């Protein structure tokens, strides 16, 4: 996957907004980084924020006509964990 990920469809669409300049987009991502809570079993939940990912492998868990809900490996303070995220289908490239 390459593109913007977020915790909800609305957040992904806000990142793709034509009203955001590159500077504004960088500011939004810096102020609201993609973060999740990790439970005692190492499972990510309660994710918030947004991020840009490049050439990451992900597993599709669900989809709508316009978006995929994926599990994508991300780095957290406790190490790399699979986290749920939403990405536009137009940004996804399957191999």
Q: Is the pLDDT of residue 1 over 90?
A: no
Q: What does the pLDDT look like over 21-59, one tens digit per residue?
A: 888 989 999 999 999 999 999 899 999 999 999 888 999
Do residues 34 and 6 make contact, with C-beta atoms less than 8 angstroms apart?
yes
Residue 95, pLDDT above cutoff 70: no
4 bridge partner residues: 52
Give the start-to-end residue ranges of the domains of the chain: 3-91
pLDDT of residue 3: 87
pLDDT of residue 78: 85
Distance CA 85, CA 6 (A): 6
CB neighbours of 38 closer than 8 A, spacing ≥ 6?
A: 44, 45, 76, 78, 81
Share of the chain above pLDDT 70, in %: 99
pLDDT at 62 exceeding the cut of 70: yes
Interatomic CA distance for residues 67 and 79, integer angstroms: 27
Per the listing, tokens 């960088």 go with: 26
Single pTM value for the model: 0.85
> Which tokens belong to 89?
């289908």
């Amino acid at each position: 996957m390459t593109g913007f990920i977020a915790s909800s469809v609305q957040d992904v669409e806000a990142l793709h907004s034509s009203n955001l300049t590159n500077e504004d987009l960088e500011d939004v991502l810096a102020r609201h980084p993609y973060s999740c809570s990790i439970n005692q079993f190492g499972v990510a939940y309660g994710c918030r924020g947004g991020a840009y990912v490049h050439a990451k492998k992900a597993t599709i868990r669900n989809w709508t006509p316009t978006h995929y809900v994926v599990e994508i490996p991300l780095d957290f303070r406790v190490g790399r964990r699979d986290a749920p995220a939403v990405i536009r289908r137009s940004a996804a490239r399957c191999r």
